[in-house]
Structure 1
Amino acid sequence: MSQKALVLFAHGARAASWAAPFERLRDLTQARTPDVRVSLAFLELMTPRLPELVAELEAGGVDEITVVPVFLGQGGHVLRDLPLMVDQLRLDHPGTTIKVVEAAGENAAVLNALSDYCVASLSQASPD
């Protein structure tokens, strides 16, 4: 039976507190998918980096990985850096299927949820 993992792939930052919303997203997603290992990986400045995480997942028996770029837009990191990294990972881990889905901010449902939040902010009380 195939073992699956979901990797939320974010940029990374110098401040550890930057990762807090991504950790909450990981935890919320893990709670909804108990049979799938949900992890965070970062492009730079934070660990684990994607190559190290993929190696760890494979060593733990995972053979199907879905990477979700948790980026609002498809800039150079999503369009150029991530595909190159994934191509190398596929060569390094031929027994593991690695697929990448669209950046979160390119998904209609995500954009609608963000729009809902923006519209709802109009009715929030103003700070005095």
Structure 2
Amino acid sequence: MRGLILLAHGARDGAWSRPFVELAARVRAEHPGREVRNAYLEFIAPDMVQAGAELAQAGCHAVDILPLFLGAGGHVRKDVPALLQRLHTDFPGVHWMLHPAVGESPLLLDAMARIATGLHDAAALSREERA
């Protein structure tokens, strides 16, 4: 069985995690046999190691880790590899695959460009509706 960790930064405000919880639900709906866990670097549980342990205990032989960051800053370049090494040590029978930060994907950049350009269109439409 293959698992997926959706790794986000975390925040003190619990409402902050709503989009990430929704993302996990959408992935589960599209891939019902896949084990999916949210994980956070700070403030919110579970952290990456806890989520990885859950997936290993659920029988996952391979786990993809997708950092939900717009860029590969210090967390992605330093903190995440250290946590990944801990998972390799604690669960050597699992193949852990760290993927690039989601913000490096052309698909996300295209989606953000569509949103940004849509702001102008939405503002123009709103002005027309008020006139």
Same fold (TM over 0.5): yes
Give the AA of the match of 1:119: T
Partner of 2:23: 25
Alpha-carbon distance in structure 1 between the residues aligned to 2:31 and 2:115 = 25
In structure 1, the partner of 2:8 is 10
- Deviation track 1:56-92 (CA, whole Å, cap 9, x = no partner) reads 1111111110000000111100011101110121011
Equivalent residues, number: 126
Q: Distance in 1 between matches of 2:107 and 2:69?
A: 14
Q: Structure 1 segments of 4 or more deviating over 2 A? A: 125-128
* Deviations 1:77-111, CA, capped at 9 Å, x for gaps: 00111011101210111001100111000111111
C-alpha displacement of 1:31: 1.2
Query: What amino acid is the match of 1:40?
Result: N
Query: Secondary structure in 2 aligned to 1:122?
Result: helix
Name the stretch that deviates more: 26-35 or 89-98. Answer: 26-35
Task: Provide structure 1 residue ranges, at least 5 long, that are not aligned to the other structure.
Answer: none
User: Percent identity of the aligned residues?
Assistant: 34
How far residue 18 of structure 1 moved from its aligned partner, in angstroms, is 0.2
Could you tell me which amino acid in structure 2 is paired with residue 5 of structure 1?
G
Q: How does 1:11-90 map to 2 (within 5 A)?
A: 11-90=9-88
Q: Check if 1:99 corresponds to 2:101.
A: no
- Output the aligned Cα RMSD: 1.4
Partner-residue secondary structure (3-state), 2:122: coil
Structure whose CA Rg is larger: 2
Alignment TM-score, normalising by the size of structure 1: 0.93
Match of 2:64, as an amino acid?
Answer: T
TM-score (norm 2): 0.91
Letter in 2 for 1:121: L
SS, match of residue 8 in structure 1: strand
Which whole-Å CA distance do the structure 1 matches of 2:4 and 2:53 have between them?
Answer: 14
Secondary structure, counterpart of 2:56 in structure 1? helix
Aligned with 1:115 (options 113, 116, 121): 113
Gaps of 5+ in 2: none
Provide the secondary structure at the position in 2 that maps to 1:21. helix
